[in-house]
Structure 1
């Protein structure tokens, strides 16, 4: 099961730090990425991802997970809602979660966000309803956590 990479910001997706190898790097399931985990952009962008590459947040990294938001389908809606519905949900939810994590409103920040959406397959086979939000830049890599940074 995998999540489709949303083509928001720079279409970047990353891996989590919470389940890293002893040397600070390692593959992490997309389902295990948690707020505060830092990631490198995959060398190859694909429609579905199963793993991300995590790094310590003190190391240069491209993204940092800052929220995992559960999508709740409308009453009686059992099937996959579609990419457009999930992207609208992710745009609003990730924007709303940005300020509490970074300390400044998204519109006033020098940072950007992107996200991972449930894929049709992970929705149908794995009951995946979560959107994972990531902070990113379009310039230099991040070299520390952005939590509370007011950047």
Structure 2
């Protein structure tokens, strides 16, 4: 998965990196291809543009991000990237980072209220996302955008689901 080039990308860079290792904080590696809503993650010590795993912790432990949506990329024309052969054909070629970024910003913003319980514009938290890289798109048929609630200040110590923060 590739990190987006967007203002909120810097926030995610603080929280994720390939090769996160398990530490005394109770974290363990989770493949970016296995992330599910409700999982919480901690910040690593170093930053990379592409990553393959995240350091997951229990949401009751200090963390900086919580996954809240896994959204299949939808090509122009509205066909989901998964499902019928016709739908998959619309997304067989990597659409590029700009197209994926625009899609991710809209898709993650739309799903924010349903998870946190308050509109993004009224929230004290932020969101960011991970995009499929050209490599994961071609080699692993990766079409999912991962959406994360994140903080730039105080660490989170519980799930933000339904918190209305």
Unaligned runs of 5+ in 2: 77-88
SS in 1 for 2:11: coil
Aligned to 2:123: 109
State the shift of 1:47 in Å.
1.4
Equivalent position of 1:86 in the other structure: 100
Q: Distance in 1 between matches of 2:38 and 2:91?
A: 32
**TM-score normalised per structure 2:** 0.81
Once the 2 structures are TM-superposed, how far is the Cα of residue 138 of structure 1 from its aligned partner? 1.1
Shift of residue 135 of structure 1?
A: 0.5
- Name the structure 1 match of 2:84: none
Separation in structure 2 between the aligned mates of residue 7 and residue 62 of structure 1, nearest angstrom: 19
Number of residue-to-residue matches in the alignment? 144
The CA distance in 2 between the partners of 1:54 and 1:77, in whole Å, is 30
Secondary structure of 1:11's match?
helix
CA shift for structure 1 position 43: 1.9
**How far did 1:24 drift?**
4.1
Quick check: 1:64–1:135 contact (8 Å CA) kept in 2? yes
Structure with more of its chain in strand, by fraction: 1
- Describe how 1:1-151 pairs up with structure 2 within 5 A: 3-8=1-6, 9=8, 10-12=10-12, 13-14=15-16, 24-74=26-76, 76-151=90-165
Moved over 6 A (4+): none
**1:72: Cα distance to partner?**
2.5
Larger radius of gyration: 2
* Unpaired stretches in structure 1, ≥5 consecutive residues: none
Moved more, 43-52 or 80-89: 43-52
Q: 1:51 to 1:77 in 2, by over 3 A?
A: closer
